[in-house]
């Protein structure tokens, strides 16, 4: 199994999420962390949603994102749920953010 370390806590492994950047030792993608951050969730609060991570891992993922925005934005868009598939109650919550 080959894994490429991209930063202190971020790696890529072709066997996990097809090589999408993840936090080392987890299956948590940088995309998932960035998605929460883009919703306005502070890095310290992201730990409430992903309690298996450390604050250092969250900040490293955000730093990685800032250095690789085009790539991570492409993963985000590729994995975006089409609007017509989002339940109206979820859409209402998202509209308030």
Residues 37-54 pLDDT 10s: 998 999 999 999 999 999
Q: In the CATH scheme, what is the code of domain 4-96? A: 1.10.10.10
Of residues 72, 5, 70, the one with CA closest to residue 33: 72
Domain residue extents for the chain: 4-96
Q: Please give the share of the chain, as a percent, with pLDDT higher than 90.
A: 72
Within 13 Å of residue 94, how many CA atoms lie on the same side as its CB? 11
Cα 22–25–30 angle (5° rounding)?
15
Structure token digits, residue 23: 């936090």
**Span 76-95, average pLDDT:** 83
pLDDT interval class at 95 (50, 70, 90): confident
What is the DSSP code (8-state) at residue 5?
E
For residues 61 and 30, the answer to whether their CB atoms sit within 8 Å is yes
Q: What is the pTM of this model?
A: 0.81
Beta strand residue intervals within the chain, DSSP E: 4-5, 10-12, 22-23
């Amino acid at each position: 199994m080959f894994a490429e370390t991209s930063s202190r806590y971020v790696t890529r492994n072709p066997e996990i999420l097809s090589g999408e950047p993840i936090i080392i030792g987890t299956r948590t993608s940088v995309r998932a962390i960035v998605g929460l951050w883009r919703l306005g969730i502070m890095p310290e609060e992201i730990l409430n949603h992903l309690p298996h991570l450390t604050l250092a891992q969250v900040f490293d993922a955000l730093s990685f994102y800032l250095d690789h925005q085009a790539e991570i934005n492409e993963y985000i868009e590729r994995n975006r749920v089409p609007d017509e598939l989002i339940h109206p109650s979820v859409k209402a919550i998202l509209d308030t953010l």
